[in-house]
Amino acid sequence: MTDRLLTWTLGAATLMVASLIAIIAAFLLNESLGMLNRVELGRFFTDSGWSPTMSRFNILPMIVASVLLMAGAVIVAAPLAIFTAVFLRFYAPSPVIDIGRRIIEVLAAMPSVVYGLWGLVVLVPIIAAWQQPGASLMAGILVLSLMIFPTITIVVHSGLAAMPRHYIEASQALAMSRAYMVRQVVLPAVRASIAAGITLGAARAIGETMAVMMVTGNIVAVPGDLFDPVRALTSNIALEMAYALGDHRGALYISSLLLLSIVILLVLINEFIVSNKLEH
């Protein structure tokens, strides 16, 4: 009886969440399709610029900015996060483990506007002293990597903690050094967790709005180097939605749909990596 009840409750909850996602996706798709009837898809990549009030809809610079921000943040944060997780699991003395984990949990839960504020007040001036204007792709990448570092660390660490203890026993009994065990046994064994952590971090990076908006300068242009200001897709939506009308609004819906698609793509890539877990 309780079992049936549980099955139904869980089923209903799952259905509700799934339909919520479907509703959001359908809404975005619907709004976007209306727009696509009026404006051809290619124009979002070939128009001469982004001035939607004058019917110029090129969102390519913002796609490039978002992808660069995400990739940069992952490249900076992932190695550090994996290193930290391994350190906390295999090398740190126990008082350090406890303190380290608390700090990382707090970092993971910190509101993004706080990261943005720190970036704006501390990081941007430092970068500006080095190379003007300061608010830049670089500032965005650094703030984002700081944000996704704890996320990736937590996921990888829980993968390490859940790894069967007998892998460690087997490695030790085979006279492996700790470093060799970590490289050759532990990290390959938790590949799925590493992939999941990176996916989650990347999704957070590409979806992050507030912190990115505060430190990247928000100029719509393909960046020439790391010190150029950029505008992310997310920032663009947040900055303009309040006053956007008609096709302008439609273009922002298309940006949202694009963000959703990128996140879905990330999840699919993760899925693919996990299902190919076994290598030669």
Partner 1 sequence: MDRITEATSYIQEQDSSSGNICLCTESLCLSYGTRAALENVNLRIPSRAVTAIIGPSGSGKSSFLCCLNRMTDLCCSTTIEGSVRLGEHDIHRDLGKNPIALRRRVGMVFQHPNPFPFSIWKNLALPLKHHGVRNKQELSSVIEQALRRVGLWEEVGDRLRDSALTLSGGQQQRLCIARALVLEPEVLLMDEPCSSLDPLSTKCIETLIGQLKNSYTIVVVTHDLAQARRVADHVALFWNADGVGRLIEQGPAARVFQHPEHELTTSYLEGQL
Q: Which residues bind partner 1 (CB under 8 A)?
A: 164, 166-170, 172-177, 180, 184-185, 188-189, 277-280
User: Distance between CA 157 and CA 148 in Å, rounded?
Assistant: 14
Residue among 159, 143, 171, 170 at smallest CA distance from 88: 159
Crossing angle of helices 233-240 and 246-275, in 10° steps, is 150
**Which of the 8 DSSP states describes residue 51?**
E
User: Distance between CA 125 and CA 134 in Å, rounded?
Assistant: 6
Q: Cβ closer to partner 1: 93 or 224?
A: 93
Q: Cβ closer to partner 1: 168 or 213?
A: 168
The position carrying tokens 């799925």 is 192
User: Distance between CA 106 and CA 194 in Å, rounded?
Assistant: 21
Crossing angle of helices 191-207 and 60-86, in 10° steps, is 140
Q: Cβ closer to partner 1: 242 or 278?
A: 278
CB of 156 to partner 1, least distance (A): 17
Neighbouring residues of 144: CB distance < 8 A, sequence distance ≥ 6: 69, 70, 72, 73, 77, 205, 208, 211, 212
Q: Cβ closer to partner 1: 180 or 272?
A: 180
Q: Cβ closer to partner 1: 38 or 178?
A: 178
Q: Cβ closer to partner 1: 7 or 172?
A: 172
User: Distance between CA 248 and CA 244 in Å, rounded?
Assistant: 5
CB of 273 to partner 1, least distance (A): 15
CB of 98 to partner 1, least distance (A): 15
CB of 272 to partner 1, least distance (A): 18
Crossing angle of helices 60-86 and 233-240, in 10° steps, is 120
CB of 174 to partner 1, least distance (A): 4
Q: Cβ closer to partner 1: 64 or 176?
A: 176
Q: Cβ closer to partner 1: 12 or 174?
A: 174
The DSSP-derived string for 133-158 is: T--SHHHHHHHHHHHHHHHHHHHHHH
User: Distance between CA 24 and CA 31 in Å, rounded?
Assistant: 11
CB of 181 to partner 1, least distance (A): 9
CB of 90 to partner 1, least distance (A): 12
CB of 170 to partner 1, least distance (A): 5
